[in-house]
Amino acid sequence: MKKYSKRLKYISLVSTLCLMASTSACGNKKESTTIDDNYRTTYEIFVYSFCDSDGDGIGDLKGVINKLDYINDGDDSTAEDLGCNQIWLMPVCPSPTYHKYDVTDYCDIDPEYGTINDYKQLIEESHKRGIRVINDMVMNHTSSQHPWFKEACDYLKNLPEGAEPDSAECPYFDYYNFSKESATGFEKLAGTDWYYECRFWSEMPDLNLDNEKVINEFSDIAKFWLDLGCDGFRMDAVTSFTTDDTDASTAELKKFVSAVKTLNPDAYIVGEAWTNSSTYSKYYASGIDSLFDFDFSGSEGAIAKCAKSKLKPIKYVQQQIDEDKLFSSYSEDYVNAPFYTNHDMARSAGYYIGKNATDSTKLAGALNLLMSGNAFIYYGEELGMKGSGKDENKRAPMQWGESGSEGMTKGPSGMDKIEMTYGTLEDQKNDESSIYNYYKKAIRIRNAYPAIARGKCAILDQLCGDRCAVWTKEISDTDSVILIALNNGKEPIQIDLAKSDDADGFKTLGASLSTGGEDAVLDGNTLTLPAFSFAVLTK
């Protein structure tokens, strides 16, 4: 961490000045304040529903390119972009389904989305703007139409009666989990006495990741994308690599991680282990950079509970401290991956009802962005998009404008009609009180203070209350330290900083953000926080 010290001083100073000043006062385009590490703010994109460039109603890679300036224009002196500095592309490889989590060719782009040349252009344009790009890697299973599976099936169908399969004759037989015995999660292979494992769906046969040849295939696949400029991978369904066996799944993940790190030590890898932290923490033993922090996500996660005042702020912070101890016991170099929602969850704006619903929707976004690590935002979350029930509803078109406007997609077939409470980007972009502009401000605060993403938390107990938490975040071996105060209640609160020696020296109100637009006030040792707000203090 010592390598950050001088760089952090510069970044904190420049970012804070630009945060406090107007856009014009920040001057012309200058050196980027992004630190080139894995502590980022990542924007998850479902290409199918994001932006359509050719009018066929389906999102594509050129559409993503057209909207890169929306995500980050690469110019720190502007305030027009969101400020995210990494994108995660949900699967882009050829597939028979709209979601593309059943791949038929791991080294190509689905024609609905474009071409390899489009992907190369996306990488080039993203990197120009300081945006890294990670691909979804579906290693647990393939499509039933993948050539590996089709060849294995043809081999078994033509196997003489009484003969045993021989991987020397058909190596792809051992790429999957075939059995003569029926079992839960297995499907009968038509025309044979064989069954194959397919835990998610009959058209998604599970791969045998205990087979070194399969791991080698995925090492070659990773090399293909890394050579094109891809910056890393999001690993799908790592808990399913070997069903009900965390140790085996971790070992299989470790083989892939090691292969990728040999190819490119700087490649970033984040894993989906949809379970509780006591279990997904174990996957850090694989050497993976990050794991999604599911305990904080969704309608019943710590973020949503704190946003609707059902979880005390101090518990929101303490849970982060407890996780840090747990995760670091498996990997000292782990980078947490907090997120609020994703493509498999109901959209967050539907979590709240009542007169404070908008406040909770906004505050939850900030609670995600105040966490250490690489924070993930699902496309449209910054607009307060809604969508629940069937998966298609959770993957609705990005709301650029009214239906039929430029870039709008038609969305997945079978999607229900969804009423978007908070409107489109066009509705929100000029409204300073909108969810969109709140997210932009929250991301800018995160970017302005490196300790938000990189610091370790320490609670100032004497300053905490039922609706208030105060904690510091400090980057080890540097002088980068901030104090954060949070009010998740409906009423303003005052905090007497003099009650804690650990608050001594925090005399500057660097930034504040409230859901209602009011500013925090620091008067001597008294900090006044508006309802549903947070503030960042510096020394």
Alpha-carbon torsion (98, 101, 106, 107), positive or negative:
positive
What is the full DSSP assignment across 374-394? -EEEETTGGGT----SSHHHH
What is the full DSSP assignment across 116-179? HHHHHHHHHHHHHTT-EEEEEE--SB--TTSHHHHHHHHHHHTSPTTPPP-TTT-GGGGGB-EE
Torsions phi, psi for 258 (to 5 deg) = -60, -40
d(CA 1, CA 451): 12
> Which residue shows structure tokens 């139409």?
145
What is the full DSSP assignment across 47-95? HHHH--SSSSSS--HHHHHHTHHHH--S-TT--SS----EEEEPP-S--
Angle made by CA atoms 235, 339, 447, in degrees to the nearest 5? 110
Element (H, E) at 507: none
Is residue 236 among the annotated active site residues? yes
Angle made by CA atoms 122, 95, 221, in degrees to the nearest 5? 60
Amino acid at position 496, single letter? D
DSSP 295: G
Which of 44, 206, 252, 272 does the annotation list as catalytic? Answer: 272
The residue among 111, 189, 181 whose CA lies nearest residue 149 is 189
Which of 81, 236, 289, 323 does the annotation list as catalytic? Answer: 236
CB 86 within 8 A of CB 134: yes
Is residue 112 among the annotated active site residues? no
> Which residue shows structure tokens 């794991």?
291
Cα-Cα-Cα-Cα torsion 409, 410, 411, 414, nearest 10 degrees, comes to 180
Tokens describing residue 505: 């020296």
Q: Among all residues, which ones are annotated catalytic?
A: 236, 272
